[in-house]
A and B are shown apart, each in its own frame.
Chain A
Amino acid sequence: MWKWLHPYAKADRAYQLCNTLLPYFAVITVVFMIIGWIWGLAYAPADYQQKDSYRIIFIHVPSAILSMGAYSSMAIAAVIALVWQLRNAELAVIAIAPVGACVTAIALITGAAWGKPMWGAWWVWDARLTSELILLFLYLGVLSLYHAFEDKKAAGRAASILAIVGVINLPIIHFSVEWWNTLHQGATITKFDTKAIDSSMFWPLMVNIVAFAGFVGMVTLMRLKNEILQREKHRPWVRQLLNRG
C-alpha cells in the first residue's frame, strides 16, 4: 500500500517531487496572500469594540496557528527520521525549523503590537503569549543544536530527538502556563468573546490562514531542496541540473 512512497526516499526523486509541488504552493501563497491582505486591511468591517486595531488578527492568528502546525510537522518528520532512518526526513526537520521560528516570531511581534493598544502594554504575561515565546525557544534550540554539530549526519539525528522531546513537552508546557496564568492573575483578558466571529471577518481570516500555510509549505520545500542539494553536492544528478539551466 505504501510502496509508491518508497522511491521518494531517494534524494533525486525527493528533489523532483519538491520541484513539482513548489509552483502550486507558490501560486496559492501569492494569490491568497494578496487577496487576504487587501480584504483584511481594506474591506473587512471594523470591529465594534476594537475598531481597526483588530485587523492585526489577519496575520496574528494565522501565524500562531502555523507556528504550532509547523512544530508538529517537524516532530512528525523527526519521528519518521528516527524510526525509518530516512535521511530526507531529517533534512525536512531542518528545513521546517527556521520557517517555524520566523512564523512564531511574527506571532509574537503582532501579539505585542496588538496588545499595546488593547491591554496597554507591549508584553503581558498572558498564557498564550508565554507559551508562544517558549515555542520560539524550542525552535531556536533545535536550530542551534543542529548548527553546533560538525557532522551533519549526527546533527540531523540530534535535532530530531530534541524535536520529539519538545513535542512531548509542548502540551505540558502549554497547560501548565495556562494554569499558572489563571492562578496568578485572577482576571484574564479575553481576546475575543467566545461567540463565533462574524462571517465578514471569518472568511478573510480563512484566506489568510491558507496563505500562511502556503507560505510555510513553499519555503519549507525551497529549504528542503537546498538541504538535499547541499548533501548531494557531489552526485552526478546534481551536476546534470547545471546543464539544464
Chain B
Amino acid sequence: MQFDSFSDFIAMGGYGFYVWLSFGSCALILLGILVSSFNDTKRIMASVQQQAEREARIKHAQQENQA
C-alpha cells in the first residue's frame, strides 16, 4: 500500500481531482454502455415475447371462430 491513510488515498498527493475525475468518468462510461447493452437485450426479448403472445391470441381467436 502506497498510502498511509484513506484520506491520503483520496488526495492522491494533491492530484486527487484529476485522478478521480478520470477514473470516475471512465467507470461511468463503461457502466453506461454495459447497462444500455443489457437494456437492449431486455427490450428486444420483450418485443419478441409480445409478438409471440399476439400470434398466440390470433391463433386462439381463429380457432374459436371456426368452432
Asked if B21 CB lies within 8 Å of chain A CBs, one says yes
Pairwise interchain contact A109-B32, C-beta atoms closer than 8 A? no
Mark each residue of chain B from 48 to 67: 1 if its CB lies under 8 Å from any CB of chain A, else 0.
11011000000000000000
Residues of A near B52 (CB, < 8 A) are: 239, 242
**Contact partners of A233 in chain B: CB under 8 A:** 44, 47-48, 51
B12 touches A55 (CB 8 A): yes
A232 smallest CB distance to B (angstroms): 9
Within the complex, the shortest CB–CB distance from B25 to chain A, in Å, comes to 5
Contact status B32-A102, CB under 8 Å? yes
Give the contacting residue for A222; candidates B21, B26, B37; CB below 8 A: B37
- Chain A interface helix/strand/loop/mixed: helix
The answer for the CA separation of A52 and B14 in the assembled complex, in Å, is: 8
Chain B residue at minimum C-beta to C-beta distance from A37: B23
Contact A116 B18 (CB under 8 A): yes
For chain B, which range describes its interface: under 10, 10 to 19, 20 to 34, or 35 or more residues?
20 to 34
**A53 sits at the interface (CB 8 A):** yes
The complex places the Cα of A84 from the Cα of B63 at a distance, in Å, of 45
B44: which A residues are within 8 A, CB to CB? 226, 229-230, 233
Interface size for chain A: under 10, 10 to 19, 20 to 34, or 35 or more residues?
Answer: 35 or more
Q: Are B41 and A117 touching (Cβ within 8 A)? A: no
Across-interface contacts of A117 in B (CB, < 8 A): 15, 18
CB neighbours of A219 from chain B (8 A) = 33-34, 37
List which A192-245 residues lie within 8 A (CB) of chain B: 215, 219, 222-223, 225-226, 229-230, 233-234, 238-239, 241-242
The CA-CA distance from A102 to B29 in the complex, in Å, is 7
In the complex, which residues of chain A have a beta carbon less than 8 angstroms from the beta carbon of B21? Answer: 113
Within 8 Å by CB of A60, from B13, B22, B33, lies: B22
- Most A C-beta atoms less than 10 A away, residue of B2, B14, B22, B45: B22
User: Residue of A at shortest CB range from B12?
Assistant: A52
Report how far A42 CA is from B13 CA in the complex, Å.
12
Closest to B39 in A: A226
Task: Give 6 CB contacts A-B under 8 Å.
Answer: A46-B2, A109-B29, A219-B33, A222-B34, A226-B37, A241-B45
A interface residues, Cβ below 8 angstroms from B: 37, 41-46, 51-53, 55-56, 59-60, 63, 98-99, 102, 105-106, 109-110, 113-114, 116-117, 215, 219, 222-223, 225-226, 229-230, 233-234, 238-239, 241-242
